[in-house]
């Protein structure tokens, strides 16, 4: 692959671009972004070599789409319209069902590979892009059987070259599972941050007492609302289901506190410590 186009040059796309360029110095990275400042920053930082527009996609060997999921749903059919028959298009959205449905009947569906690289930070924009973001991280691939095998091979080599692990899943299952392990944690962080901000109006010392535990818990509350609001909208049913379970658990914990049932609170926390074994197994 010689010409790689990125649509969206932020943390996700920019980090991909850095590592792809490292593994293949002959590749020319082209950037497309509605934010002109992002393009300027990305070029200044050496993340991209050329600015581009959608009509230039006819020259692409690979297109990586890393924009908010609502924008991906709208733009993806147009992207497929403009590419050549040998071009591979990959997305990086945190939801998959709506994106896959947007192009399920497109004549060039075989040129598209639906992906979700599970990596990131709370930062955004080209200046947030870092080398090694994807090393050792999992990339969920959906509906792989709908992508031309030759293009599948190109994608898998690319992902493995930058150190990613591959997992296959159908879009519906992906969206259900990711609501628990990603979307719920972001909502929790946003709402914890809101709770503390509201309280801080009357108790300004609260942030002086905040330690590393609070900081790590609310880190995700610094994430981009422009990216996360469409994610919650596209995965609304699954997110509501997880929220109901989460709220029930919080209500139960509150009731145990009201009952002074601290032995049961201890048991609840001890049983939940099992999460350490699960996470250690993943890592």
**Token pair 């150190």 is at which residue?**
163
Domain boundary among 170, 191, 213: 170
Residue reference for tokens 């890393």 = 66
Same domain flag for 166 and 181: no
Task: Please tell me the pTM assigned to this model.
Answer: 0.88
The residue range of the domain holding 229 is 174-282
End position of a domain, from candidates 114, 137, 170: 170
Tokens describing residue 21: 């360029």
Same domain assignment for residues 191 and 265? yes
Q: Are strands 88-91 and 28-32 parallel, antiparallel or unpaired?
A: unpaired
> Residue 191: its pLDDT value, please?
93
Where is average pLDDT lowest: 114-118, 182-186, 220-224?
220-224
* Same domain membership, residue 25 and residue 122: yes
Instruction: Report pLDDT digits (tens) over 27-40.
Output: 999 999 999 999 99
pLDDT tens string 157-175? 999 999 999 999 999 999 9
* Of 151, 170, 189, the domain-final residue: 170
Number of domains in the chain: 2
DSSP letter at 241?
H
């Amino acid at each position: 692959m010689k010409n790689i186009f990125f649509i969206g040059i932020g943390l996700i796309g920019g980090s991909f671009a850095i590592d792809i360029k490292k593994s293949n110095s002959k590749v020319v990275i082209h950037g497309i972004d509605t934010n002109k400042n992002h393009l300027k920053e990305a070029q200044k930082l050496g993340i991209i070599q050329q600015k581009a527009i959608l009509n230039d996609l006819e020259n692409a060997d690979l297109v990586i789409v890393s924009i908010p999921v609502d924008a991906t749903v709208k733009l993806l059919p147009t992207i497929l319209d403009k590419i050549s028959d040998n071009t591979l298009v990959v997305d990086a959205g945190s939801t998959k069902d709506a994106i896959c449905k947007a192009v399920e009947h497109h004549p060039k569906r075989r040129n598209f590979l639906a992906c979700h690289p599970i990596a990131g930070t709370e930062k955004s924009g080209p200046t947030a892009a870092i080398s090694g973001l994807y090393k050792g991280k999992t990339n969920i691939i959906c509906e792989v059987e709908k992508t031309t095998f030759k293009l599948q091979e190109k994608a898998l080599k690319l992902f493995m070259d930058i150190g990613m692990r591959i997992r296959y899943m159908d879009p519906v299952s992906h969206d259900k599972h990711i609501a628990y392990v990603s979307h719920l944690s972001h909502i929790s962080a946003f709402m914890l941050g809101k709770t503390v901000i509201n309280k801080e109006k009357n108790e300004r010392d609260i942030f002086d007492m905040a330690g590393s535990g609070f900081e790590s818990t609310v880190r995700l509350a610094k994430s981009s609302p422009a990216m996360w609001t469409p994610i919650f909208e596209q995965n609304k049913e699954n997110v509501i289901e997880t929220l109901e379970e989460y709220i029930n658990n919080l209500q139960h914990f509150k009731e145990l506190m009201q009952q002074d049932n601290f032995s049961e609170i201890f048991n609840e926390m001890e049983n939940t410590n099992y999460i350490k074994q699960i996470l250690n197994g993943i890592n």
